[in-house]
Chain A
Amino acid sequence: MDVKKLSKLTKWMETTDLEEITWKSGEDRISLKLNNNPEHSTTIASTMEPILAPSIGIFRFARPGKTNHLKEGASVKKGQELGVVEVGKDFKSVTAPADGLLKIISIEDGKPVEYGQPMFFVEPK
């Protein structure tokens, strides 16, 4: 079976409500199964990368005694500390995942955050 035939077959299959088919022709035999798991078929068009809270706690732009003047639109370096989440006596570092532009800051200093809450969005260069 050639690729052309295969793509024709898959295109056709998408127009039906079939989830699984087996196609046989002489020596050729192929089974196709539709991936209808929504978790996997979702694609996000945005190029921005969210930075999620590494822990529940209180967000601070800087560690005690330090200052940090982050602004939207600033460029950030991979690994640069953007802030910390204070949990108990611990400070969990929040760092940029890549070199890029800090497009959105969606957190304020001193505010509580949940685990996994998006706090920044970075557009990688």
Chain B
Amino acid sequence: MFKKVLIANRGEIAIRVIRTLREMKIASVAVYSQADHSSLHVRLADEAVCIGPAMARESYLSIPAIISAAKITGADAIHPGYGFLSENAEFSAACRDNGITFIGPSPKSIQQLGHKAEARKMAVKAGIPVTPGTKDCVYKDAAAQAAKIGFPIMIKAAAGGGGKGIRIVREAAQLENEMNMAQSESKAAFGNGDVYFEKYIELPRHIEVQFARDSHGNTIAFPERDCSIQRRHQKLVEESPSPAVNKKLRESLEEAAVKLAEAANYVGVGTVEFLLTQTGEFYFMEVNTRLQVEHPVTEFITGFDLVKEQFLAAAGETLSFTGGHNVPYLGHSIEHRINAEDYNRNFAPSVGRVEEWIVPGGPGVRIDTHVYAGYNLPVYYDSMLAKLIVWAPTRALAVARSRRALEDFKVKGIHTTINAHQLIVESPDFQAGKTDTGFMERLLAPAEPVKA
């Protein structure tokens, strides 16, 4: 096992990783930008090093600075968290070339599965249903290729993620314009302008399966997560298991994830994302070759520590469970992403000093956060303040616990999305488990006049 691990990230996820390291008696090294010198991960880690200025490109995204920090501190492994360099094959290769273990899959796996068009090909080969769409990236004959799929279609960035570089085209006349926008957006965000087309499925659910695999061939697929509640392709609420998935469908989803992990000879934890139609068909969407923001809901219902499984797999050891592809689970878990955004002003980002910060606790409540009273929010990074995760024996009890915990959450000085989450939990559709990717749009739309 590793002796010292550097965490190439910031915020709540850096702290999440430090906590597992501490439980495993492994030393931790935090890296930080100048804007983050008072961030909590810097204080909680055993060591901390300043790696650059506020701009992520010169700090959290700088491969030479992070490798240098690992060498200076003598770290033998690097955990990339999520975002930043977590799905960067070049970074994974730079770690390997410098004799440092990257906590994540091999550069080859990241390239295969992180590139959406490549991953799709692999899914087809493994016999997993995919949404109708172009087999490769679209470079020419865009109109003919789009017509073949049938409108509406989605233009997606091959190197994309986090909802960036996705455009919906409803008719042929919009195609050229949208195609240009998607390409330039993708080029700006990911340095790669390749795009491909996919059939746009109306109001699907976003379902994903977490898997873990070690170098001895043990593969686990965890019960699905439902991440249908999104706003502008950004997830707000995630839960596990999904209220829309029965035992039979769960088995098919898990089987598909296991097949894909095995086909890619993947080592580490990853997530396969699917679209679930209103009529119960599922289609492969993409693979995330990293730990995900919403991993705690899986941890809550299964009792696993997914970060620990990452370390076990990366160290060449066996996963903590080797008794087959499926694991038992108990109850229901819901995660709320609390962001520094003003829900009353169309989710405009909020910055400033956190004057009061009182987090909920009690039975079945977990908070992952880097925020504390007196913390000044830097403007340079994403707006997530905390993840509130609840667990209860049933979904109805979990919703009740969410409601209670959101009420307990007291923040002053900045605007947060706590009230948006309260609106979600009070929604009869949410309480009934009737959610899809159009849920937020409907919830936030002005109320329709009452029908006579």
Contacts and interface: CB of A to CB of B under 8 A. Distances in A.
Interface of A: 55-58, 87-88, 90, 112, 114-117
B30 interface: no
A55 B34 contact: no
Interface in B10-64: 34, 49-53, 59, 63-64
Main SS of the interface on chain B?
Answer: helix
A114 B49 contact: yes
B59 to A, nearest CB: 7
Interface string B64-93: 110111001000000000000000000000
B98 to A, nearest CB: 9
Contacts of A56: 49-52, 65, 68-69, 72
Nearest to A117: B50
B64 A87 contact: yes
Contact of A90 (B34, B59, B64, B72): B64
A112 B49 CA distance: 10
Nearest to B50: A114
B49 A116 contact: no
Contact of A58 (B50, B51, B53, B72): B72
B50 A87 contact: no
A117 B211 CA distance: 42
Contacts of B52: 55-56, 115
A112 B72 contact: yes
Contacts of A115: 34, 50-53, 59, 65
A112 B52 CA distance: 14
A56 B65 CA distance: 6
A117 B34 CA distance: 11
A88 B67 contact: yes
Nearest to A112: B72
A87 B68 contact: yes
Given A56-B50, A114-B50, A116-B50, 6 more contacts: A56-B49, A56-B51, A56-B69, A87-B68, A115-B51, A115-B53
Given A115-B34, A115-B59, A116-B34, A57 B49 contact: no
